[in-house]
A = this chain, B = another copy of it.
């Protein structure tokens, strides 16, 4: 019995969900990881209005799609990020407010508690997202931060998120934190630090996305084996290292597709991720959750790619030895 293949709706949140569901179904997806932005899932309406939730579930059911995961990347990153103009573009007005950093962070934290409650109402067991990071500017730069500064930064994140995760626990929902550059945990060892800092509490696990490991030079299979029991969700996204002597791996200033970048996102199967190693590691560690396509590719038509990706994952996901 193969794993359910989901489409993460974030990259399509500019389109009405009503339009997207028909396509997702045609393309072959079994369900959705619903973005908590655009009209895909408006958290305040969902919290206030049970009919709203039911209507969403009905819409999906009509297209034989399950609502398997909520993707709350935008608001969750605002909880601990150093807030600046970048966040205005990704937050709802009522969270951004006047943009004063402390207020933004507090409202984002409250919103995440609401997300957990909405998930419970929708019968969704997993929310994917970020924590934000107060210490990303220290990464790879100079002067480096002292161990004490790192410890203090971690502590601040833990203190902020513990009460949020308590709500998740109470709602019976798991938080699947994506290990991602820009976040506190961006590689195998920082993920371990975070897991330790949260004392391995049950509600907290990872969204695993191999594309972020490729250009960092980390083997995705090592990550999967290392955190087997804590992989709560999986993103299927590919990337390609496109070094040519002039481009470099640090790409902050250059937008997706710009040839000055040393790597690019790619539609799954069109890049350099070792998918065979990826699926074998998931099979060995008995991961049986969904495989959710988080589609990004600067060179490919989005609809073409979303269908191509679904078929790719169907071919990839072979049956493990029982």
Binding site for B on A (CB under 8 A): 77, 82, 85-87, 89-90, 133, 135-147, 149-150, 180-183, 186-190, 193, 213, 215-219, 221-222, 225-226, 240-241, 243-255, 257, 259-260, 262, 270, 276, 280, 283-284, 297-302, 304-305, 308, 318-322
Cβ contacts A to B, 13 pairs, < 8 Å: A87-B143, A89-B143, A138-B252, A142-B182, A186-B248, A217-B241, A218-B243, A219-B244, A219-B246, A221-B245, A222-B244, A280-B299, A297-B321
Instruction: Give the residues in chain B near A246, CB-CB below 8 Å.
Output: 188-189, 218-219, 222, 226
Contact (A181, B320) CB under 8 Å given A222-B245, A249-B249, A299-B284: no
Beta-carbon nearest neighbor of A251 in chain B: B140
Which B residues are in CB contact (< 8 Å) with A141? 133, 136, 181-183, 252
Tell me which residues across on chain B come within 8 A of A255, comparing CB atoms. 144, 147
The distance in angstroms between the C-alpha atoms of A42 and B105, with both chains bound, is 43
Rounded to whole Å, the gap between the CB of A96 and the closest CB of chain B is 13
Q: Is the interface of A mostly helix, strand, loop or mixed?
A: loop
Asked whether, in the complex, the Cβ of A216 is within 8 Å of the Cβ of B250, the reply is yes
Q: Does B320 lie within 8 Å of A301, measured CB to CB?
A: yes
CB-defined contacts of A219 to chain B, threshold 8 Å: 244-246
- A-B contacts besides A140-B182, A140-B251, A297-B321, 20 pairs, CB < 8 Å: A77-B142, A89-B143, A136-B137, A138-B252, A139-B140, A142-B182, A142-B183, A144-B252, A144-B255, A145-B252, A181-B250, A188-B247, A216-B248, A217-B243, A218-B248, A218-B262, A283-B300, A300-B320, A301-B319, A304-B319
> Complex: how many Å from CA A187 to CA B298?
22
Q: Which residue of B lies closest to A255 (CB)?
A: B144
A302 closest partner in B (C-beta): B321
Please measure, in the bound complex, the distance between the C-alpha atom of A64 and the C-alpha atom of B216, giving whole angstroms: 46
Expressed in whole angstroms, the Cα–Cα distance for A166 and B205 within the complex equals 50
Taking the nearest CB of chain B, how far is it from the CB of A150, in angstroms? 5
Q: Which residues of B contact A259 (CB under 8 A)?
A: 225
